[in-house]
A = this chain, B = another copy of it.
Amino acid sequence: MNPSSYSEFMKPRDIRINDRFWGAFMERVRTKVIPYQWKALNDSVPGAEPSYCIRNFKLAAELTHPELDYGIPRDTGFGGLVFQDSDLAKWIEAAAYSLAWHPDRELEKTLDETIDIICSAQQDDGYLNTYYIINGLEKRFTNLKDNHELYCMGHYIEAAAAYYDAAGKRKLLDAMIRYVDCVDKHIGAEEGKLHGYPGHEIAEMALIRLYAVTKDEKHLRLAKYFIDQRGQSPLYFEEETRRNGNTFYWEDSYVQYQYYQAGKPVREQHTAEGHAVRAVYLYSGMADTARLTGDEELFAVCKALFANITQKQMYLTGAIGQSAYGEAFSYDYDLPNDTAYAETCAAIGLAFFARRMASIEPRAEYADVIERALFNGITGGMALDGESFFYVNPLEALPQASLKDRRMRHVKIQRQKWFGCACCPPNIARIIAFLGSYVHSANADTVYTHLYLGSEAAFHLAGGDLNIKMETRYPWDGEVDISFTAEGNAPFTYGLRIPSWCKSFSLKLNGAAAPYALRDGYALLNQEWRNGDRLSLSLDMPVNLVETNPCVRDNQGKLALIRGPLVYCLEEKDNGKELFKLHAGTPANFTVNYEQDLLEGLCTVSFSGKREKDWEDGALYRNRAEGRYEDQELIFIPYYAWANRGAGEMTVWINK
């Protein structure tokens, strides 16, 4: 680890996104998702299961301050899942980012009023979790393993820091600092404290984020404690289960405490195991902690885990967590397409993890994964109208199987309006609203550009202030124009990520060949930059057919089509039923066609493939014979846009 090569990602308010592709997603989040989720949190979506989320806070506030009257009957109990509080936190976080991008006084007022309610529920000692405030505080901290107290705390810390970053307001932040103080009094290494840690991780990275604001060592120390104590023997979760008569749901399972990544100390974990979202949230906190404490050993574990995920357990779309059982990783090279769990939140968490790794070392493999997840596994989770969502993101969809095959009971072929466990929609909202902070990172003398999208960003480098403006039609083509605005000459190194899918590119500075060096996937230009300098990056973006490592059983004999960062798929709508009868053959050429009126505007790719003909005799088996095929034009659309035209088959992988 070399702290001089660390770089910091940007705060959303330092970058203004003005991109055709991503602007549309951000607008959907701002105008559709955030308002819809606000209604859902307030139980005012007609026909939908109530969230109870705001009501829980109001009830908790009334119980805590009897002078308050939100009109909740006192005998109303806690509603929803044990982690229901977190839905509101995620909404606040997304709304805060949205405000930074697009000021909205009405939304800001709503946020302030909501934060007032939340804070009214806070206990004198700082404790703040409605499940236990309503159900009995004497039970708090008795089931860290499954009851999500520290998970909810983590999300509220993220929300508080986001709102502080976006609007400079610190009421929620101060409340969270008090909550952390309370937790710190009860949980930690010292004698008399509970030697526990979160059952569902996120507090680790949230505490690091809090530390970035407060610089209070206590916050870093608690994050580090959660990480180092995890999985130590004697196992806290085992003791807690015994002491409090809790249930251990994984007793008869092969996964045991690795469901929680707590089966052994984290430094002994080198393969991603257990619940996928928990895992990548933990790894994100581990990477943060390694960076801040210079912990080489912990960083090496992070690298091993990142390599295990991306080289052995990641779908082409950047989706992870292949198994519905435990919403979990399963084992190396197990990547079923049709029964994939591939939870949207897990792809989001992988982007969190990759972003943290990228801030430690400037290797393009991290931002490659961010790009892969963002353009495919994450955006595929939301309908193009911003009104429905996938929790599970298969790479092959079969309507009849989803109905009749219980291996695929979790696989919906149409996005759903909302979920009882509504973790994915607000998670999509918060990462898309926060997208600006994934574009560049910088330290005193270097700026890296990781993602290409229309934007203007402001940097404060040792050599002076600087603005970088990008213009591009990415991902529809690979031309990126970058212009610099500086007051004087600004000496710094500028690094542009050359995506791993790009095998050929050109880079021009003010019209002439630019003198770059290529290192670890970045084209680096080290020079004095002058006001008005213009870089033109041209990334070749051919269509490619990709294949999977032969260790992956499910993709034997199959190809997928990619172009630039986008993974493509075939839909029944364009290609007829029984997509598994289609074969790519060896296409002579590909047609790329931008279609303005299709699915909000996108590039389709097509080529002449073939379809296996049905057997005339209707037999089920026969001696090997030459297959008979008919030509068929195969029409691919980007994976993120699938299932926006009614129910039907879809596949990413096609027979060779």
Contacts and interface: CB of A to CB of B under 8 A. Distances in A.
Interface of A: 254-255, 310-312, 314, 316, 323-325, 330-331, 334, 336, 339, 398, 400-401, 403-407, 544-553, 556-557, 559, 578, 580-581, 612-615, 618-625, 627, 655-656
B557 A331 contact: no
Contacts of A578: 551
A549 B621 contact: yes
A412 to B, nearest CB: 15
Given A311-B619, A557-B655, 15 more contacts: A254-B404, A311-B620, A323-B405, A323-B406, A325-B405, A331-B404, A334-B400, A334-B401, A549-B618, A549-B622, A550-B615, A551-B578, A551-B614, A552-B620, A556-B557
Contact of A557 (B323, B336, B557): B557
A339 B407 contact: yes
Given A404-B331, A406-B323, A580-B553, A316 B621 contact: yes
Nearest to A307: B618
Contact of A547 (B400, B550, B553, B625): B625
B620 A312 contact: yes
Contacts of A324: 406
Contacts of A312: 620
A621 B545 CA distance: 10
A553 B336 CA distance: 14
Q: What copy number does this chain have within its complex?
A: 2
A152 B551 CA distance: 48
Given A400-B331, A655-B556, A620 B548 contact: yes
A39 to B, nearest CB: 28
Q: What 6 pairs between A and B have smallest CB-CB spacing? A: A325-B406, A550-B612, A557-B557, A553-B580, A545-B624, A407-B407
B405 A334 contact: yes
22 contacts: A254-B404, A255-B404, A310-B620, A311-B619, A316-B621, A324-B406, A334-B404, A336-B407, A407-B407, A544-B623, A545-B623, A546-B622, A546-B624, A547-B623, A549-B619, A549-B620, A549-B622, A550-B612, A550-B615, A552-B620, A556-B581, A557-B655
Contacts of A544: 623-624
A628 to B, nearest CB: 9
